[in-house]
Chain A
Amino acid sequence: MTRALPMIEGGHVDVVCFEALSELTLAILQKDRLSNPDRGYTFDINIIARQILPKAFERKIPLITNGGGLNPLGAAAAVAQTASKLGLRGLRIAAVTGDDILEQLADLQRGGASFAHLETGEALPPTADLPIVTASVYLGAAPIVEALKAGADIIIAGRVADPCLYLAPLVAHYGWSWDDWDRLAAGIVAGHLLECTGQVVGGNSLALIDRVNPRDLPHLGYPIASVDPDGSFAIYGTPGLPSYVCAETVKEQLLYEVHDPAHYLTPDVSADFTTLRLDDDRGGCVRVSGVTGRPRPEQLKVNLGLLEGYMRELIFTIGWPEAWRKVEQLKTMIDETWHGLPIRRVEYRYLGINSLYGELAPLPDDPYEVIVRVVFTADDQDTLKTAVRRIMANGLSGPAGMSVSGTTVGAEPRAILGLWPALIDRSCVQPQVTVQEVE
């Protein structure tokens, strides 16, 4: 988060967007909200409010984030409190809501919405029978544009589609119309390239493995897009900080988390990545032009999160000699130990051998060490705790020379969330913008 400060303090930008949500994040936030209804927003909000907002407000640089998670209004209240303490008088805080349809789900279903699974086509069973914990619609840029036009200095949304955060200020500034598909698509491509911060300036780059100085990685200058009225743009790292933007990093990020590159679907436009052109100036700046777009999809995407149970992992170390025989002893012992316990799934992988690439990775004949990771699931947390206790009680009766990683023994169970992606009619979703001013 604070790595956004140099671009603000250096006067290099007109607006800063913080993309803060993943499919996993919303599920975690739901747990926070259950334990405290005032929470349910990302921790990033606090950092933005305390460390970034004062500098940005001073320079009239609006901040836009979807870090409001499941509770943008709660996040806005927290920001208002912090801003008030910091004396940021006149600061306008906007909250964007309407993405969270958990409460309306049953009514919508009764009203005829099928919520058919996007991948399997299966209709959603009656919601009352399902442990649904989140239901978030991917909103587009429009409510953020509205908030910007209302003079908001910080805009806190929930599940706004990642690249739409970045499209919004372009639409607000240039007045692009909502059917100017090519320009909207260009804004989406810019947002898509920026949203993963370090990933376009040299982070997570296989192409640049020989070029990137690893000492630079924690200091990479986060990316900036300078967008022209026609939608073409230049992308580069924050001036004065290390960055490695080049055609290779842009290509790597362009296809990150993309399916059909000719139809990159967002709530505002379907963007086509196959018509664009990259020009690398070999000086740390790449120009992107020629993006085209097609009309936005008729419906919006909604992601339902279902609580399916819990998981735990234990990591055992086994050394030479007879490592594979000891692994088999361990597996059999675990199987015996858990006899009668309602454990659902048990998975074994060998770290450093086949935990990433499965069957692609050949097993060594007579290894010096095998690190066994066993992951197991149950419907409830108590079963998992009992399972671990039973294993530990058998510790001294196990295979010769076996040990267990202590941190994995002490860990807490983790929730398993099933995701149910579906479509919903736009008419069922009413985004709202609430603006408050700090006095």
Chain B
Amino acid sequence: MARHLYDLAYGRAGDKGDIANISVIARSPEAYAALKAKLTAERVKAYLGDLALGEVTRYELDNIQALNFVLQRALDGGATRSLRIDGLGKSLAGALLSMLWDDDMSTTEQELAR
């Protein structure tokens, strides 16, 4: 059955200048293991496309079973400059959580090699 990342995790987005962060917080230890193995920074950047124009960095928090993604150049210049209706990027966590998730999904490296 097709699932979304949202079925494995919840999250919240925040802004600092033109940098957005999206937390991806696992709903279970199994989900966290899967996220850690497969939800790489490269995959997140590829999925978000024009929502994350710059580098994407991933941080791991084993203690609370969460990942934190930091997206450079993700807010059209930041809240004080952005022409977007959601200039603060409050909705961006939802964008990432809409990723379709297959438990058998190949690793990003394999995907990129294809």
- Chain A residues in contact with chain B, CB under 8 A? 22-24, 27, 119, 204, 206-207, 247-248, 251-262, 273-278, 305, 308, 311, 345, 347, 349, 351, 355-360, 373, 375, 377, 416-419, 421
Whether A357 pairs with B23 at a CB distance below 8 angstroms is no
Q: Is B84 an interface residue (CB 8 A)?
A: yes
Find chain A residues with CB under 8 A from B59 CB.
259-262
What 1/0 flags go to B71-106 for Cβ under 8 Å of A?
A: 010000111110111100011011101100000000
Whether A23 pairs with B98 at a CB distance below 8 angstroms is no
Q: In whole angstroms, what is the CA distance A275 to B60 when docked?
A: 11
Whether A254 pairs with B85 at a CB distance below 8 angstroms is no
Q: List 21 A-B contacts (CB under 8 A).
A: A23-B79, A23-B80, A119-B19, A206-B97, A252-B11, A255-B12, A255-B23, A255-B61, A255-B68, A256-B12, A258-B68, A259-B59, A261-B59, A274-B60, A274-B62, A276-B63, A277-B63, A349-B84, A357-B95, A358-B51, A417-B81
What 1/0 flags go to B1-35 for Cβ under 8 Å of A?
A: 00000000011101111110101010000000000
Residue of A nearest to B67 (CB): A255
Whether A252 pairs with B83 at a CB distance below 8 angstroms is no
- In the complex where A248-B10, A251-B64 touch, is A421 in contact with B25 (Cβ < 8 A)? no
Residue of A nearest to B79 (CB): A24
Chain B: interface size category: 35 or more
Give the Cβ gap from B80 to chain A, nearest Cβ, in Å.
4
- In the complex where A119-B19, A251-B64, A278-B64 touch, is A358 in contact with B10 (Cβ < 8 A)? no
Find chain A residues with CB under 8 A from B83 CB.
311, 345, 347, 375, 377
Whether A207 pairs with B98 at a CB distance below 8 angstroms is no
Whether A421 pairs with B17 at a CB distance below 8 angstroms is yes
Interface of A is mostly: mixed
Whether B95 pairs with A360 at a CB distance below 8 angstroms is yes
Q: Which one of A22, A419, A421 has the greatest number of beta carbons of chain B within 10 Å?
A: A419
Q: In whole angstroms, what is the CA distance A81 to B94 when docked?
A: 47
Find chain A residues with CB under 8 A from B50 CB.
358-359
- Chain B residues in contact with chain A, CB under 8 A? 10-12, 14-19, 21, 23, 25, 47-51, 57, 59-64, 66, 68, 70, 72, 77-81, 83-86, 90-91, 93-95, 97-98
- In the complex where A356-B95, A358-B51 touch, is A305 in contact with B80 (Cβ < 8 A)? yes
Whether B81 pairs with A256 at a CB distance below 8 angstroms is no
Among the listed B66, B70, B90, which residue makes an inter-chain contact with A251, where contact means beta carbons less than 8 Å apart? B66
Find chain B residues with CB under 8 A from A417 CB.
80-81
Whether B81 pairs with A418 at a CB distance below 8 angstroms is yes
Q: A23-B78, A207-B10, A258-B14 are in contact. List 18 more A-B contacts (CB 8 A).
A: A23-B16, A23-B79, A23-B80, A251-B23, A253-B12, A254-B64, A255-B23, A258-B21, A260-B57, A260-B70, A274-B61, A278-B64, A347-B83, A351-B85, A355-B85, A357-B91, A357-B95, A416-B80
Give the Cβ gap from B27 to chain A, nearest Cβ, in Å.
8
Q: In whole angstroms, what is the CA distance A277 to B65 when docked?
A: 11
Q: In whole angstroms, what is the CA distance A278 to B15 when docked?
A: 25
Find chain B residues with CB under 8 A from A247 CB.
64
Q: In whole angstroms, what is the CA distance A207 to B12 when docked?
A: 9
Among the listed A252, A257, A308, A349, which residue makes an inter-chain contact with B25, where contact means beta carbons less than 8 Å apart? A252
Give the Cβ gap from A161 to chain B, nearest Cβ, in Å.
12
Give the Cβ gap from B104 to chain A, nearest Cβ, in Å.
23
- In the complex where A119-B17, A259-B70 touch, is A355 in contact with B80 (Cβ < 8 A)? no
Find chain B residues with CB under 8 A from A277 CB.
63
Among the listed A22, A359, A373, A418, which residue makes an inter-chain contact with B77, where contact means beta carbons less than 8 Å apart? A418
Find chain A residues with CB under 8 A from B91 CB.
356-357
Find chain A residues with CB under 8 A from B14 CB.
255-258
Whether B84 pairs with A257 at a CB distance below 8 angstroms is no
Whether A206 pairs with B63 at a CB distance below 8 angstroms is no
Among the listed A261, A262, A355, A357, which residue makes an inter-chain contact with B98, where contact means beta carbons less than 8 Å apart? A357
Q: In whole angstroms, what is the CA distance A273 to B65 when docked?
A: 12
Whether A275 pairs with B63 at a CB distance below 8 angstroms is yes
